Amino acid sequence: MKAVDVFDYLKNNEYPGRGIMICRTPCGRKIRIGYFIMGRSENSRNRVFVEEGQGIRTEAFDPSKMVDPSLIIYAPVRVHDDTTIVTNGDQTDTIYDFLGEGKSFEDALRTRQFEPDEPNYTPRISAIVKKDKYQMSILKSFGGDPVFNQRQFFDYDAKPGYGHIVHTYKENGNPIPSFEGEPVLFEVVKEPFEAFSKHLWEALNKDNKVSLFTRSIDLETGETETMIFNKNEK
């Protein structure tokens, strides 16, 4: 697979939905994580990211306008010991609990399935990062079927200068077509973490983007830097 420019990749997609990206800096010293949410409805757009412990959660920007909190209010990022969990739904908690029981990422996600939002059947995308290795997963409907699942798992050694991105939708549409294939390989531009984060935020469609979380993890010290971008600012 040829590596893409992740900023151009996102600029050319009006609606990739929610997305997870993980990469290793060209110097090899740090892992970077990104998680973004987008929205087309007023309910989906009425959200912000807020920090919670070592992770984040989604929160209604205007509680009076919240129609249905299911599927849109959850903790996208949690940390269990030295493992960072990133997902697009409440499967974050499932993975966290399973890791606490000494079970695996795969064990946790085999108990879950795609979101019940007919007719889209939005995929559940998930990832964990532990030191210089990461795993990604996609749980999606088997050909638009409301019952049967495809559960895909991907296991990577973090190679300096490269990363992968996975997102819920292939592109905009009605119903919205699910992401296809394996996570997309991208090459990491040599730039400071703050610049990387700002470029990622700028690459997301200005009408549909809602929030972005980014984190840098130093592989030697474990120290982290975090940035949060919200279209709705409190």
> Helix/strand/coil (H, E, C) string of 177-221?
CECCCCCEEEECCCCCHHHHHHHHHHHCCCCCEEEEEEEEEECCC
Q: At CB < 8 A and 24+ separation, what contacts does 149-156 make?
A: 149/113, 149/114, 151/109, 151/110, 152/182, 153/105, 153/106, 153/109, 154/182, 154/183, 156/22
- Of 219, 198, 188, 215, which is closest to residue 26 (Cα–Cα)? 188
- Report the alpha-carbon distance of residue 108 to residue 103 in Å, rounded: 7
User: What is the H or E stretch that residue 58 is in?
Assistant: strand 55-60
Q: Which two tokens stand for residue 123?
A: 């995929």
Phi first, then psi, for residue 121 (nearest 5°) are 45, 60
Over the stretch 44-82, which tens digit does the pLDDT of each residue have? 999 999 999 999 999 999 999 888 888 889 999 999 999
Check pLDDT > 90 for residue 196.
Answer: yes
pTM of the shown model? 0.96
The rounded mean pLDDT for the chain is 96
Percentage with pLDDT > 90 across the chain: 94
| Residue range 163-174: mean pLDDT, rounded | 96
